[in-house]
Amino acid sequence: MIEFQNVSRVYKNQVRALDDVSFHIAPGEFVFLIGESGAGKSTLIKLLLREEVPNFGKVLYQGNNVASIRARRIPRHRQSMGVVFQDFRLLDDRTVFDNISFALEIFGYPNAQIKRKVADVLELVDLTRKAGSYPNQLSGGERQRVSIARAMVNNPALLIADEPTGNLDPDTSWEILRALRDINNTGTTILMATHASDIVNRMRKRVLELHSGHLVRDEEGGAYSVQA
């Protein structure tokens, strides 16, 4: 599914955002990506999305070298992934249904297929009754579930969740984690970047820990810190 082979990303100021990072994530895994701010988590995600390319090493996704993807194929590459952000990134002037259907419209799906796909993902995140609501009529947890539904509407093989609970209270955070767990149980691979130690400690999934660009820990069933 995902493989980093001795990947380094060096910026013009000679800062090594990632330094000789290697790991493999198999299809269907749920993996937490942890580390302090500036550790390299965002750079790792950008490399997967082909927003950046490594200076050294290879990033492979489903067997393909991501850096070799031609510019015209990048949108299709990203369509095979879903991304959920901390700040929801919903369109305030569109309903829940329209926020989710927007990406499908861009890729030219017929209306009947759009309606079916949106209905399916709204059911997945338990928001069918909110299809006609606007983002300002939703709670924070509901808005994040809409963003998860939007990320899942193309049935991606991989869901990248970048600090998805960062703006949410503990109870709502667990609501989001339950949704992600249910999605993972359908076979979708999940890579979640987070600072939420309570979630990592309770879930006990695989942990990849970055520190100053180095991969310092790759642990199955790991806690947020080795002392936890």
- DSSP labels for 104-152? HHHTT--HHHHHHHHHHHHHHTT-GGGTT--GGGS-HHHHHHHHHHHHH
Residue 1 lies in a domain: no
Report the pLDDT value the prediction gives residue 13, as an integer from 0 to 100. Answer: 85
Residue 60 lies in a domain: no
- pTM value? 0.94
Report the pLDDT value the prediction gives residue 228, as an integer from 0 to 100. Answer: 41
- State the Cα–Cα distance between residues 195 and 35, nearest whole angstrom: 7
CATH number reported for the structural domain that contains residue 102 in this entry: 3.40.50.300
Report the pLDDT value the prediction gives residue 227, as an integer from 0 to 100. Answer: 52
Residue 70 lies in a domain: no
Provide φ and ψ at 69, rounded to 5°. -65, 130
Q: What is the pLDDT along the chain (228 residues), one digit of tens a residue?
A: 999 999 999 998 888 999 999 999 999 999 999 999 999 999 999 999 999 999 999 999 999 999 999 999 998 899 899 999 988 889 999 999 999 999 899 888 999 999 999 999 999 999 999 999 999 999 999 999 999 999 999 899 999 999 999 889 999 999 999 999 999 999 999 999 999 999 999 999 999 999 999 999 999 999 998 654
- State the Cα–Cα distance between residues 193 and 178, nearest whole angstrom: 16
Residue 4 lies in a domain: no
| Number of domains into which the chain is organized | 1
Residue 48 lies in a domain: no
Residue 12 lies in a domain: no
Residue 143 lies in a domain: yes
Report the pLDDT value the prediction gives residue 226, as an integer from 0 to 100. Answer: 64
Report the pLDDT value the prediction gives residue 103, as an integer from 0 to 100. Answer: 80
Q: Give me the domain span that covers residue 107.
A: 30-40+75-219
Give the SS3 label for residue 201: helix
Q: Which among 110, 124, 181, 172 is positioned nearest to 152, based on CA atoms?
A: 124
Residue 36 lies in a domain: yes
